[in-house]
Chain A
Amino acid sequence: MATPVLDKADSAPEPGFADSPYITVTFRIRRFNPEISAEAFWDDFQVEIDPKERVLDALHKIKWELDGSLTFRRSCAHGICGSDAMRINGKNRLACKTLIKDINPAKPITVEAIKGLTVLKDLVVDMDPFFQAYRDVMPFLITKDTNEPTRERLQTAEDRERFDDTTKCILCAACTSSCPVFWNDGQYFGPAAIVNAHRFIFDSRDEAGEQRLEILNDRDGVWRCRTTFNCTDACPRGIEITKAIQEVKRALITRRY
């Protein structure tokens, strides 16, 4: 197994810092590239890095200075775009929102692709099934009025607050790919799709709640949820996902929402 060490001169701390904040951290990354081999393997890299930096910074250091073929998605680098959900030390997180100091850098840090979606290369998975489930819940406002209002629809602050939590979703798939039901059966809609259905079912302006509830009443719908709370733990936006799923279940029973 290759264990390249970063050239120290490349990553010297900025002048003015008497005590170097840099430490050596081992990153153990699950690699897979079917162009080269059908087998996935663990690849170790040692990186000199300030532990206050993000896991994404470490991945960049590896890609930019050690192995350009390391492949992962990223864009905004501060937890808004949802590109870089990955399994870090066995837990789904955004690499750009996880500081190295918070995940015990004294031990090797493992990084692998999120589970339940086909790995295409290294940390990149096929997101299409995830987005298909999202599209299946009709994630858009549906109203019956044929005449568009001239001004905005009114909504009380309380009604707006009712679905605030689920509007925060960035579709990163950290929740869905942490769900044991989804791992075992990719047909399950998964938490993210239910979260996005919840966002409309509980929006006072929307008039298609019944339709969405029927979609989620399907055998691959909400009833598959086993309330393990993995999704809530995984959500980088702090959405109470399990609670949202429970609210959808309750709405299905009571038909009140």
Chain B
Amino acid sequence: MKIHKYDTVIVGAGGAGMRAAIESTKRSRTAVLTKLYPTRSHTGAAQGGMAAALANVEEDNWEWHTFDTIKGGDYLVDQDAAEILAKEAIDSVLDLEKMGLPFNRTPNGTIDQRRFGGHSRNHGEAPVRRSCYAADRTGHMILQTLYQNCVKEGVEFFNEFYVLDQLISEVDGVKKSAGVVAYELATGEIHVFQAKAVIYASGGTGKFFKVTSNAHTLTGDGQAAVYRRGIPLEDMEFFQFHPTGIWRMGILLTEGARGEGGILRNKDGERFMEKYAPVMKDLASRDVVSRSIYTEIREGRGCGPEGDHVYLDLTHLPPEQLDAKLPDITEFARTYLGIEPYTDPIPIQPTAHYAMGGIPTNVAGEVLADNTTVVPGLYAAGEVACVSVHGANRLGTNSLLDINVFGKRAGIAAAEYSQKADFVELPEDPASLVVAQIERLRNSTGTERVSTIRRELQETMDANVMVFRTEQTIKTAVEKIAELRERYLNVSVQDKGKRFNTDLLEAVELGNLLDLAEVMAVSALARKESRGGHYREDYPNRDDVNFMRHTMAYREVGDDGTESIRLDYKPVVQTRYQPMERKY
């Protein structure tokens, strides 16, 4: 075991982690621990753009953006946070441009902007061009630009280090972050990082679904690490299903395709979104479009021999426009489906895409131990966190914005804290939990296979807690997850070595997915209403009287060691916008 000491430790090197690192490295001795090489992070898969009311191509302002974000989140958004997001969006985009990001340009040389789902002029009048973009590889450009600037600033990375535990010490009755424990992939060695401040920026947890746009590595490691140490998880029932994933594969096809004029069609060729969203049509918010697609499929208007998908039609757009604005996604269609998007519509289905919920934070990125108490020294930003700027449904282009605005805020706040704070003493035998976990998995002679349990988990999640949910389906998922958690205790790995043991780490990741899937299903069961991405067929309406509140899920361990989930609730911050019926 090795012990390291840094002022600030950042967990994860996607957009939020690297944006934080650029700020933190200037102000404090910082280490970034990342399970992937930084440029492998899933920020790079984001396509369509980053929202900011620059008003470069038409009238726009941050107040309209704030409203759209709150409405898009079905009023579960904390309005003070949404206002910060929309206001600071403008400087965030300009910061990236100054760092070198190659945005597409207008004829007069300013950053070009395009339409995106749920972003509107004057509180829903019509779509507005708010998304700043670089073809359909905006996330790639953001990830590259941030990495380039990390190189410039001399950010210190520990690549292929898996953070498996959060250390918390009690000082004068206050629980404070003391550091993290990490597993080094190359050697199998355990490392303890003592740090004054820790920032989680480790991304999402989409791999508990089968059809997902998420990378294999998005297994909720950060959420699971803090949750096991008593930190609550907020609004985990809210998961976004992106309308246009490649049929069966789930690979993302950007909403920018519809922003450029693409149309969704059913088997009769009908532009069905006109029925569901007369004003915004194909550019309604993602939860609305995904439900509409599944309604078409359920009512027998799906495409193909099984009627299990619909089409994204780009054939009416000029090939030059597709080449210039959507080169990557058209190539995906050619590579993975053998389809020519110039002439043929692309088969799509909704794909599990984004966790709105996560580790609760305030607007400075400080993690909350309950509804109000800050954990000194602990921060989170990006998809791993819940500020909450996305509420019950995130708008497209607001995630690349979130990682930049709140990554920067967390980086500054954490570094300023670690400049003035003292190191917190490490708990006794700080690596004990991780050592025990690793040794148990490595030495297990159990008969269960990681891949089997993971597949069954993904299948039950797809079948029971996806776009449509009922009490019955969620209960089925809860029971199945409990069974899988039991079977997980009997899991073994074939690779017993120390060097690059990815077999072992997949087992660890599955443990994280199981914990988080349970939190999600239990949170969903208790929310007896429909709001944003959480749609209950048995409670089809939003219920502001009983459920205008954030879910806070806590892990409880009884005296006999039995684990359970305790649900509590937190009020939503409302400033200037009263909840209204959501129509597009």
Contact = CB atoms under 8 A, between A and B. Distances in A.
A117 B351 CA distance: 37
Interface stretch (B91-99, B477-485, B530-538): B91-99
Nearest to A205: B100
A75 B503 contact: no
Question: How big is chain A's contact interface, by range?
Answer: 35 or more
A52 B44 CA distance: 25
Given A157-B105, A160-B105, A164-B102, A69 B111 contact: no
Contact of B450 (A34, A64, A80, A151): A64
B561 interface: no
A206 B102 CA distance: 11
A34 B103 CA distance: 46
Nearest to A148: B98
A80 B140 contact: yes
A81 B503 contact: no
* Interface of A: prevailing SS: loop
Interface in A188-227: 200, 203, 205-206
A131 interface: yes
Interface string B208-221: 00000001110000
Contacts of B144: 167, 169
| Among A127, A149, A154, residue most surrounded by chain B Cβ atoms (within 10 Å) | A154
A136 B42 CA distance: 25
A196 B470 CA distance: 51
B39 A171 contact: yes
Contact of A65 (B36, B100, B451): B451
A36 interface: yes
A67 interface: yes
A78 B336 contact: yes
Contact of B42 (A69, A76, A163, A203): A76
B397 interface: no
A82 B40 contact: yes
Given A99-B335, A157-B105, A203 B100 contact: yes
A77 B215 contact: yes
Given A81-B44, A120-B186, A127 B335 contact: no
Contacts of B141: 167
Given A35-B499, A97-B335, A140 B107 contact: no
B109 interface: yes
Contacts of A170: 39, 44, 140
Contacts of A73: 40
Interface in A57-91: 63-65, 67-69, 71-83
B559 interface: no
Contacts of B338: 52
Contacts of B305: 16
B167 to A, nearest CB: 27
Contact of B109 (A16, A79, A154): A154
A76 B100 contact: no
A139 B147 CA distance: 9
A80 B43 CA distance: 10
Contact of B94 (A63, A69, A97, A152): A152
B450 A160 contact: no
Given A68-B494, A167-B141, A167-B144, A76 B45 contact: yes
Contacts of B503: 63, 68-69, 71
Given A99-B335, A163-B102, A164-B102, A75 B494 contact: no
B137 interface: yes
A20 B545 CA distance: 53
Interface string A96-118: 01010000000000000000000
B497 interface: yes
Contacts of A74: 216
B498 interface: yes
A131 to B, nearest CB: 7
B39 A64 contact: no
B148 interface: yes
B102 A160 contact: yes
A173 B435 CA distance: 34
Interface in A36-71: 36, 52, 63-65, 67-69, 71
Given A140-B148, A148-B98, A160-B102, A75 B335 contact: no
A135 interface: yes
A168 B107 CA distance: 22
A206 B503 CA distance: 44
Nearest to B99: A141
A67 B496 CA distance: 12
B499 A153 contact: no
A31 interface: no
Given A140-B151, A168-B137, A154 B108 contact: yes
Contacts of A148: 98
B499 A121 contact: yes
A24 interface: no
Contacts of B335: 79, 97, 99
B151 A139 contact: yes
B40 A83 contact: yes
Interface string B482-516: 00000000000111011111110000000000000
A33 interface: yes
Contacts of A167: 102, 134, 141, 144
Given A76-B215, A139-B148, A168-B137, A153 B97 contact: yes
A189 to B, nearest CB: 15
Interface in B425-445: none
B105 A155 contact: yes
B473 interface: no
Nearest to B507: A68
Interface string B447-474: 0011100000000000000000000000
B306 interface: yes
A238 to B, nearest CB: 8
Which of A36, A64, A80 has the most CB atoms of chain B within a 10 A radius of its CB? A80
B98 A149 contact: yes
Contacts of B152: 138, 140
B524 interface: no
B497 A36 contact: yes
A184 interface: no
A33 B499 contact: yes
Contacts of B45: 76, 78, 80-81
Interface of B: 36-37, 39-42, 44-45, 93-94, 97-100, 102-111, 134, 137, 140-141, 144, 148-149, 151-152, 186, 215-217, 249, 251, 305-306, 328, 332, 335-336, 338, 449-451, 493-495, 497-503
24 contacts: A52-B338, A63-B502, A64-B449, A65-B451, A69-B494, A69-B497, A74-B216, A75-B215, A76-B44, A78-B45, A81-B42, A83-B36, A120-B499, A121-B499, A121-B500, A122-B500, A140-B99, A140-B100, A152-B94, A153-B98, A154-B108, A169-B144, A170-B39, A206-B100
Task: Report, nearest first, the 8 A-B pairs whose CB atoms are least far apart.
Answer: A141-B100, A68-B494, A64-B451, A154-B109, A69-B495, A68-B503, A140-B148, A140-B152
Given A78-B249, A152-B93, A157-B105, 15 more contacts: A64-B451, A69-B495, A69-B503, A71-B500, A71-B503, A72-B502, A76-B40, A81-B39, A81-B40, A81-B42, A82-B40, A152-B97, A167-B141, A170-B140, A205-B100
